[in-house]
Structure 1
Amino acid sequence: MKETKKDIRSYTQDELRAYFIDQGQQAFRGNQVYEWLWKKGAHHFEDMTNLSKETRAFLQEHFVINHIRVDHMQRSKDGTIKNAVKLHDGLTVESVMIPTPTRTTACVSSQVGCSLNCEFCATARLKRMRNLNPDEIYDQVVAIDQQSRAYHNRPLSNIVFMGMGEPLMNYNNVIKSIDKITGNDGLGMSPKRITLSTSGIPKMMKKLADDRPKFNLALSLHSAIDEKRVKIMPFNEQFPLEDIKDALRYWYEKTGTRVTYEYVVWKGINDTKEDIDALIEFCKVIPCKVNIIEYNSIDDGRFEQASKQAVDAYERELNRFGFVVNVRRSRGKDIDAACGQLANKE
């Protein structure tokens, strides 16, 4: 029976060292392979040029590197790039490169589809097919870094886990991927330039706080009134806002870092003074800032961008109470690359 090739990126550095010792070779070969895989992002064993041809052939015979492939790339008129990323098993996720004059941000996916059921998000309609492995998340970052260098002559500067999927529902793999992205044995990026966005899973938010991450946390909030939030984010029934507030207090107590609230204002849904007052009370729970995000249509017409007057009212009142607020204009709308639009349409 033919041996099934093993996924070499599922091995730790120590396991690779031990493997080479078992093969009668020196342990440092494991270090060399590990560096090629995680620091240099090699996708092929033949690229590992400081290994002998015999060693490379041996690796080719017994192992596989299940790397991603950018199957289709779209470029927006504002410079945003959306990648359809083909995984080794034929499934597809999407990632986005968002350039500004001063930085390049990668928006990466953590699941094929999504575990949650937010009514306003195109990804939620796909349902969750599977979690991404750490290397599949890492590969998205490497691909966007290469695109940033090619198109803008600069490296990737920021990463947001705001693509397809709920990162906290793929906790272990997401944390492992961030370890590889930030580690000296990987890409060496600063964790301060990484933001993980959750829709609000209290138990997992507390677990994250216990792990004392050095990266940033964002909460996709959209309403600070339970009845309204359940209508737009039905899973909120299992995770009500009081539980999320409790998790936020725990987060701040453990980490001492503020949270960013992401908030879309929709016409006729959360554009009243009652909604603004509720958000202001929610903002008093722990130190925070608020990003008001422009809504991006997903074609069914149920959700519409609120008027400029409604958004201005949010901004004015939040400022009046001393909260930091930014109004974010969406990028890449013309190629369905903006927040909430990732759905593998192609």
Structure 2
Amino acid sequence: MQMEKKDIRSLTKEQLREFFVAQGDKSFRGNQVYEWLWSKGAHGFEDMSNLSKESRQMLEAHFVINHINVDQKQQSADGTVKNAVRLHDGLIVESVLIPTNTRTTACVSSQVGCSLDCTFCATAQLKRMRNLNPDEIYDQVIAIDQESRQLFGRPLSNIVFMGMGEPLMNYNNVQKAIDKITSPEGMGMSPKRITVSTSGIPKMIRKLADDEVKFKLAVSLHSAIDEIRAEIMPFSANFPLRELRESLEYWYAKTRSRITYEYVVWKGINDDQKSIDALVKFCKYVPCKVNLIEYNPIDDGKFQQADSEAINNYIKCLERNDIVAKVRRSRGKDIDAACGQLANKS
């Protein structure tokens, strides 16, 4: 009976060192392999050129490297690139490279499908198939960094966890991936350049604060009125805004880090003065800024982009109350790469 090979990237550096000692080899070989796996992004053991042929064959006999493959790449008229990423088990997620004149942002996925049920989001219609492993999240970032260098002549500057899935429902793996991305043994990126976006799960926001994370937090709010929020984000009926607010106050008290609220305005849903007043009030609890996001239709007539007058009313009322607000124009709409559109149509 053939031994099932283990995913080598599930091992720590110490475990790799112990493996080599157990095989009668030197422990520093574990350091070399670890560097190949993470800093150098090796796809196969044959790439590890400073190891002997015997060592490479030994690794091949015991382990696999479950590396992602970019199956399909689409580039938008505005320069945005969408990757269809095939995982080792054949499932596919999508990630996006978003370039501007001054920086390049990677929008990465944390789940195949999504655990939640937001009615305006294409990904939520897929339902969750599984969580991504830390290395699968890390690989998406590496792939986009390489594309950024090739296409735009500069390295990746920012990462947002706003692709497929709810990052806080895959908490441990997202944390491990970010640890790798920010480690000198990985990409060495500053955690201040990373934003994790959640639909708002109070218990997990408190856990983030307790774990003293250094990255930024964004919350998909979309309404500061419980009834409206529960209609567009049905799961949120279990997490009333009062609980969300208390968890964000706890987050700020612990981290002193300002929250970003992601907020889409829809015609006939949250484009009235009552909704604006409720958002202004909610914003006063914790230092924050608001990104008003252009809506990207997902073939459902229920949700329509609000008129520009409604958006302007939001901006005026927020600014009048000294709350920073920006309108975020969507990128990559022509290739279904914009916010809420990732649904593996490829």
Match of 1:278 in 2: 278
How far residue 68 of structure 1 moved from its aligned partner, in angstroms, is: 0.4
How far did 1:107 drift? Answer: 0.2
Q: Once the two structures are superposed, what CA deviation does each residue of 1:208-255 show, in whole Å capped at 9, x if it has no partner?
A: 100011100000000000000000000011011000001001101111
What's 1:116 paired with? Answer: 116
| Cα deviations by residue, 1:257-296 (Å, 9 ceiling, x for unpaired) | 1100000000000000000000000001110000000000
Corresponding letter in the other structure for 1:171: Y
Deviation at 1:185, TM superposition (A): 1.1
C-alpha separation in 2, matches of 1:201 and 1:59 = 41
Partner of residue 59, structure 1: 59
Matched position secondary structure for 2:42: coil
Q: Indicate the residue corresponding to 1:331 in structure 2.
A: 331
3-state SS of 1:168 partner: helix
Deviations 1:26-62 (A, max 9, x none): 1100000001111111111111111111111111121
Structure 2 counterpart of 1:283, which letter?
C
My pick for the range that moved more, 241-250 or 49-58, is 49-58
C-alpha separation in 1, matches of 2:61 and 2:16: 16
The answer for the alignment partner of 1:22 in structure 2 is 22
Query: Structure 1 unaligned runs (5+)?
Result: none
Letter in 1 for 2:266: W
Q: Aligned pair count?
A: 346
- 2:6: which partner in 1? 6
CA-CA distance at 1:106 after TM superposition: 0.2
Q: Does 1:89 align with 2:89?
A: yes
Query: What is the match of residue 206 of structure 1?
Result: 206
The CA deviation string for residues 278-334 of structure 1, in whole angstroms up to 9 with x for no partner, is 000000111000000000000111100000000011011101100111110000000
* Cα distance in 2 between the residues matched to 1:301 and 1:83: 27
CA RMSD of aligned residues (A): 0.5
The CA distance in 2 between the partners of 1:117 and 1:213, in whole Å, is 27
The residue aligned with 1:98 is: 98
Residue 223 of structure 1 corresponds to which residue in structure 2?
A: 223
CA distance in structure 1 between the aligned counterparts of 2:276 and 2:207, rounded to whole angstroms:
30
* Alpha-carbon distance in 2 for matches of 1:302, 1:146: 39
One-letter amino acid matched to 2:27:
A
Q: What does residue 315 of structure 2 align with? A: 315
TM-score, normalisation: structure 1: 0.99
Ranges in structure 2 where 5+ consecutive residues have no aligned partner: none
For 2:38, the equivalent position in structure 1 comes to 38
Fraction of identical pairs, as percent: 71
TM-score by length of 2: 0.99
The secondary structure found in structure 2 opposite 1:71 is strand
Cα distance in 1 between the residues matched to 2:256 and 2:99: 30
Q: Over residues 49-98 of structure 1, what are the superposed CA-to-partner deviations in whole Å (9 max), with x where a residue is unaligned? A: 11111111111121100000000111000000001000000000000000
**Other structure's SS at 2:114 match:** coil
